[in-house]
Amino acid sequence: IMDKDDLILPKDFPKLKNDAFLLACRGQETPHVPVWCMRQAGRYLPEFRESRAGKDFFATCRSPAACCELTLQPLRRFPFDAAIIFSDILVIPQAMGMDVQMVAGKGPTFPEPLKEPEDLLLLQSKVDVNKELDYVFKAITLTRHKLEGKVPLIGFTGAPWTLMTYMIEGGGSTTQSKAKRWLYRHPEASHQLLKMLTDIIVEYLLGQVAAGAQALQVFESHAGCLGPVEFQEFSLPYLRDIARKVKDQLKESGLDVPLIVFAKDGHYGLEDLSQSHYEVVGLDWTVDPRSARERTGGKVSLQGNMDPCALYAPKERISEIVKKMLEGFGTRGYIANLGHGLYPDMDPENVGAFVEAVHTHSRHLLNLK
């Protein structure tokens, strides 16, 4: 019997029973195509809504026990091949001293966003991640133990440009025009902020691996509002930096953890992303599977990319869509997912149908080989 305190130590983790996801990240053969969903721990699950009822969002993020429970909920219901820790990308701006609140019906809100370059002086440029973000690390360690080796646990972070957009916009935005104004008007200050974020993200990801994360995903959710030129200057170099630095540090400790980059709507950057030290490139639904394979030239595994709204379709139709998607991507070096997170009004039954369709159709395709 494990002592409660053993669950908070990042060692002696249970043996992994299903490694299909990790094998697929590395382009190795798998018994079936692995599948998980972005935002699989989310409001579409009644048990999630019940656990979260009346509680402050970021207070939940700071409770390792709550994060662990929310991470495990979808796995009790569906045979997902990976778990992703319940947290939020905005814990980094918080660690830098910014106030972030989750406002009902509005989403994340920064009462005092960055307005001009001199505001950068108000940020904690040197963040002690082990002090400021230890609650995430504790959640990862606890969850890794409680998963009992069922599936691998994914850690994640927001990418520098995406975090910068929130810090300047003060919340969600369709155009990101305040943040983009900085790129054109204050390019030096923009690079200064992006570099600051990159350094913290590297430490944060290394801390997640030390805590027990078995794969890492970097979310560049706002790639789509950049053009190819701005992407090359303000996003890609930092994405590459993160992967390279994390890999170099892990190598020193003899660790090797697959990295996934997801640049939503950044289809113009597909070739570049496939040569950026990430094992896996995540795709949204605007990209054709076959063309993504051609453009990445077998250099990386691919993850995605069913339109989440396809989950509103009847189950038979979901099954057909999945089959077509699998035929497009092929079964090797492929992780099935959605092209974005699950939406709160989706039916859990249809999520189950999606997972089952991936497993059934991929086993069939693998048997034909």
| Cα–Cα distance measured from residue 344 to residue 92, given in angstroms and rounded to the nearest whole number | 25
Q: How far from the centroid of its chain's Cα atoms is residue 214's Cα?
A: 13
Confidence of residue 226 (pLDDT cuts 50, 70, 90): very high
Preceding omega of 18 cis (within 30 degrees of 0): no
Backbone angles phi, psi at 306, to 5 degrees: -65, 140
Domains and CATH numbers, the chain: 20-368 (3.20.20.210)
Both tokens assigned to 124: 């904690």
**Kind plus residue range of the DSSP H or E element containing 155:** strand 153-158
Q: Which residue has the tokens 């927001």?
A: 158
Checking if the pLDDT of 1 tops 60, the result is no
Q: Cβ(346)–Cβ(44) under 8 Å?
A: yes
189 near 229, Cβ under 8 Å?
A: no
Percentage of the chain lying above the pLDDT 70 cut: 98
- Residue 226 contacts residue 186 (beta carbons within 8 Å): no
As a whole number of angstroms, the distance between CA 302 and CA 334 comes to 5
108-120 average pLDDT score: 98
Rounded mean pLDDT of 94-116? 96
| Rounded Cα–Cα distance for residues 62 and 87 (Å) | 8
Letter for the amino acid at 244? R
Q: Tokens 């995903």 — which residue? A: 217
Predicted confidence (pLDDT) at residue 2 exceeds the cutoff of 90: no
Q: Which two tokens stand for residue 208?
A: 């997640």
Taking all residues of the chain, what is their mean pLDDT, rounded to a whole number? Answer: 97
Q: What is the pLDDT of residue 40?
A: 98
* Strands ordered across the beta sheet of 215-220: 83-84, 153-158, 215-220, 259-263, 280-282, 301-306, 334-338
pLDDT-based confidence at 158, cuts 50/70/90? very high
Task: Tell me the C-alpha distance between 219 and 326, whole Å.
Answer: 23
143: CB partners within 8 A, 6+ apart: 67, 68, 71, 72, 83, 85, 153, 212
153 — alpha (psi -120 to 50), left (phi > 0) or beta? beta
Q: What is the pLDDT of residues 254-289, one digit of tens each?
A: 999 999 999 999 999 999 999 999 999 999 999 999
Query: Would you say residue 5 has pLDDT above 70?
Result: no
Please check the confidence at residue 48 and state whether its pLDDT lies above 90: yes
Burial class (CB in 10 A: 0-12, 13-18, 19+), 167: buried
pLDDT band at 6 (very low <50, low <70, confident <90, very high): low
Strand 215-220 and strand 259-263: the pairing is parallel
Amino acid letter for position 303: Q
| pLDDT, position 369 | 74
Tokens 């992407």 map to which residue?
231
Helix axes 177-185, 160-169, angle to 10 degrees: 110
pLDDT per position as a tens digit, 59-102: 999 999 999 999 999 999 999 999 999 999 999 999 999 999 99
Query: Once rounded to an integer, what is the mean pLDDT over residues 340-355?
Result: 98
Active site residue ranges? 39, 43, 52, 88, 166
d(CA 309, CA 343): 8
Spatial CA neighbour of 368 closest among 321, 316, 333, 327: 327
Phi and psi (nearest 5°) for 218? -105, 120
Locate 230 and state its tokens.
């701005």
Q: Provide mean pLDDT across the span 154-161.
A: 99
Question: What would the mean pLDDT of 23-40 be, rounded to a whole number?
Answer: 98
What pLDDT, on the 0 to 100 scale, is given for residue 125?
82
